[in-house]
């Protein structure tokens, strides 16, 4: 008995990680999906917003953990990825 193999075209695909705008978009989408999945599974997550470290709980409550020490400590995406 021979199996039929479906032929797939070989089109060159764009790599989403080529430029920083695409990488940032992929990162935002992945981050959003991870937050939604955490809440669906009853797990809280910690994030930074407006100079504060906060934790969001599955019940919708948001808790302020502490102020961030220095907002300028975070490198830009480009600086972080293009280290020598």
Q: What is the mean pLDDT of the chain?
A: 80
Q: Which residues, at least 6 apart from 80, have a Cβ–Cβ distance to it below 8 Å?
A: none
pLDDT in tens, 37-66: 999 999 999 988 888 889 999 999 999 998
d(CA 13, CA 53): 39
Whether residue 84 has pLDDT greater than 60: no
pLDDT at 4: 81
pLDDT at 61: 95
Whether residue 83 has pLDDT greater than 60: no
Cα–Cα separations (whole angstroms), residue 79 to 6, 38, 72, 75, 82? 44, 29, 13, 6, 5
pLDDT at 51: 86
Q: pTM of the entire structure?
A: 0.58
Whether residue 82 has pLDDT greater than 90: no
């Amino acid at each position: 008995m021979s199996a039929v193999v479906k032929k797939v075209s070989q089109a060159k695909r764009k790599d989403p990680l080529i430029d920083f705008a695409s990488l940032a978009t992929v990162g935002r989408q992945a981050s959003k999906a991870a937050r939604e999945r955490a809440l669906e599974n009853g797990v809280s997550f910690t994030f930074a917003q407006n100079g504060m470290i906060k934790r969001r709980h599955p019940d919708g409550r948001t808790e302020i953990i502490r102020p961030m020490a220095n907002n300028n400590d975070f490198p830009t995406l480009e600086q972080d990825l293009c280290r020598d």
